[in-house]
Amino acid sequence: MSDKEQGEGDAMEELMARQRKEKKELQGHIQHLKKHINKDKKKKKEVTEEIQRLETELKERHASELAALQTSQDTEPIAAVSDGVSAVSFNDTTEDQEEESQPPIGQQGKKISKAEKRRQKKAEANREREARIKEAEANNKHSARSVEAAKLKSLLRERSLKMHEIQPDGNCMYAAIAHQLGGDSTIASLRTQASQYIRDHYDDFSPFITDPNTGDLLTPEQFSDYCDRVESTPLWGGQPELRALSLATKKRIEVLQAEGSPIVFGENFKDEKGIVLTYYRHYYGLGEHYNSTMPLSRQSDEAQEEEES
């Protein structure tokens, strides 16, 4: 086996090993998602759709990587072919002719046959890759993620607003509110305000905060521990924390969502400039997510919105 063939074999083995590892990691993540599905049928449907999306994305990416590696290995002796091109370039013919002019007598037919096989294999790989890309684009256009994004973009445009993307982690709700409050507001300060307000108003909040595993109301000790975690960990924020922050900051907080009417906290705070958040169920791989918003005031912003829609 030549050094070139050995190198190609090593690259293929490395790719297959990495893909096997990624498949195993995805299966672990899927098991983790399934483990947290409760009896809520709506939540079960969302998790099932997310699992299908993750599996489809990984399968398509692996197929694309494999096709790309095969193409690169097949075309090293000849001119590179740009993405999406299935026809053979003039450079392929020229270099093949140079290759064919050198082989020993009796070997010429064999050399030409290999070159033809390379061209056919390369063209077939490109055709398959183009078909997969088109299929993925068609599926993505009608996916829950795309539909949700389009609906929220339309809602924002009606209010002359646009999305301001927030990093998708456990702090997204607090980061989105801090973005709109400005000044000295930070994730840490907002977590402290939310935690303290909930702790000081036990009777108002305890009926709405339950154990995520059993659905039971929290004991006073569990309630206190919950408040500690709100303040000092990246615990995901939800409606109790939104309500607490609205009351603590005396701000009207409105949450836009693709499905259903907007959720409003602090309806009485009409004299102050309100906060508008967007809530996503499907758009981000990690699950539920909040983004901030900002005015869509400049013509360039409006033009960009029209172009993307």
What are 178-198's pLDDT values in tens digits? Answer: 999 998 999 999 999 999 999
Residues 266-292 have a mean pLDDT of 85
Q: Which of 92, 96, 227, 289 is catalytic?
A: 289
In terms of pTM, does the model score above 0.85? no
Greater confidence (241 vs 305) lies with 241
Q: Which of 169, 211, 225, 228 is catalytic?
A: 169
Q: For residues 90 and 106, what is the distance between their CA atoms, to the nearest angstrom?
A: 26
pLDDT at residue 21, as a whole number: 84
What's the pLDDT band for 206 if we cut at 50, 70, 90? very high
What's the pLDDT band for 97 if we cut at 50, 70, 90? very low
Residues 55-72 have a mean pLDDT of 79
- Sketch out the chain's domains with CATH numbers: 3-141 (no CATH), 144-308 (3.90.70.80)
Residues 194-206 have a mean pLDDT of 97
> Whats the size of the chain, residue-wise?
309
Weakest mean pLDDT among 63-67, 138-142, 143-147: 138-142
Model confidence over 145-179: pLDDT tens digits?
888 889 999 999 999 999 999 998 889 999 999 99
Model confidence over 13-57: pLDDT tens digits?
787 888 888 888 888 888 877 776 655 666 777 778 778 888 888
Catalytic: 142?
A: no
Q: Which of 74, 172, 227, 282 is catalytic?
A: 172
pLDDT at residue 166, as a whole number: 94
pLDDT at residue 307, as a whole number: 47
Catalytic: 289?
A: yes
Catalytic: 227?
A: no
Q: Indicate whether 272 pLDDT > 80.
A: no
Instruction: Beginning with the edge strand found earlier in the chain, give each strand of the sheet holding 289-295 in spatial order.
Output: 161-164, 289-295, 275-280, 253-257, 263-265
Mean per-residue pLDDT over the chain, rounded: 78
- What is the percent of the chain with per-residue pLDDT over 90, rounded to a whole number? 39
